[in-house]
Amino acid sequence: MKIVILDANTLGDDLDLTVFNDLGEVDIYGFTSKDQVIDRIKDVNVIIANKVVLNESNLQYANNLQLICLTATGTNNVDKTYTNAHNIVVSNVVGYSTDSVAQHTFALLFYLYEKLSYYDKYVKSGAYVGDKIFTHFDKKYNELVGKTWGIIGLGTIGKKVATIAKCFGCKIIYYSTSGKNDNGEYERVELDNLLSSSDIISIHAPLNENTDNLIGYDEFVKMKDSAVILNLGRGRIINEADLTRALNEDLISGAGLDVLEHEPINKDNPLLSIQDSIKLLITPHIAWASVEARKRVVVEVKENIKSFQKGITRNVVTK
């Protein structure tokens, strides 16, 4: 079996990818440009990829291809219409990043909620040296106890966040972006209700026709001016120009983003105009990428290939 890894660098340089060697002949590429895809996949049986776009324009040349293993949960970079029509199995990895993303959700929150960037700078600037009292109250922050945490997308990650938030004493409400998620443990509400009621809003939904530009200026107007919004789903769920305007107009207290419409970020992204880290914190799509989570990805992909070799389909994506 011939296996190619097209964008190994998206998994980091600290993982042992030689674990795939006992499955077949393996070629590993750090990155693969659009123009290089055809040459690198034309003779292989298995493609392992993360963000490389795989569609009819290149897959038609991969005459021996049987399996595409994605090192992510999202599958929008693969043309499933083509793979289904040509009996190419597509598998992804699921559940590997739940703990990592939930942890990062709270990292974003506390940095913003407790104004940590301000207090860190206050001490390190020397302003605390010789201050009149032992503490400093210029930037106020609140406890989570008794606050309402609204979750957009109560999937596996959303439920993990809800469990942790509940431990901090939060009331949990959620909005189902598909309209089909009914969870008896938490109160399901409509989006307008969630926006107006929540002190913290976290997004853990996929990008689709129901979530594209779900949160725009009109939605920010409905939120509390003390609210913090966190996006750990997909970038285009929040309209970035509208978020910039909302932050500049103090419609909300702060925003923490781990995802953006374009990654890496475009130099003309309006969010870059906001340099106040009390209002805005952006991390470069790292919520999923703890060492442990990335190791789980490799294990999951290997299991997907081993199962396929045995005639068993695992984590198969059909649409």
Query: Is there a catalytic annotation at residue 262?
Result: no
Which residue in the list 188, 236, 245, 285 is annotated as catalytic?
Answer: 285
Query: Is there a catalytic annotation at residue 234?
Result: yes
Helices (H), 198-255: 217-222, 240-248
CB 73 within 8 A of CB 92: yes
264-272 contacts, C-beta under 8 A, 24 or more apart: 269/240, 270/240, 270/241, 270/244, 271/240, 271/243, 271/244
Indicate left, alpha or beta for 207 from its phi (over 0: left) and psi (-120 to 50: alpha).
Answer: beta
Which residue in the list 234, 240, 294, 296 is annotated as catalytic?
Answer: 234
- For residue 199, the 8-state DSSP code is S
Q: Which two tokens stand for residue 249?
A: 């107009």
Helices (H), the chain: 37-41, 56-59, 80-85, 98-113, 116-124, 156-167, 191-197, 217-222, 240-248, 291-309
Give the pairing type, strands 200-203 and 148-152. parallel
Which residue in the list 25, 143, 190, 263 is annotated as catalytic?
Answer: 263
CA angle 74, 167, 141 (to 5 degrees): 95
CB 54 within 8 A of CB 78: yes
Strand partners, 258: none
Query: Is there a catalytic annotation at residue 263?
Result: yes
Longest Cα pair distance anywhere in the chain, in angstroms?
75
Q: Catalytic residues, which ones?
A: 234, 263, 285
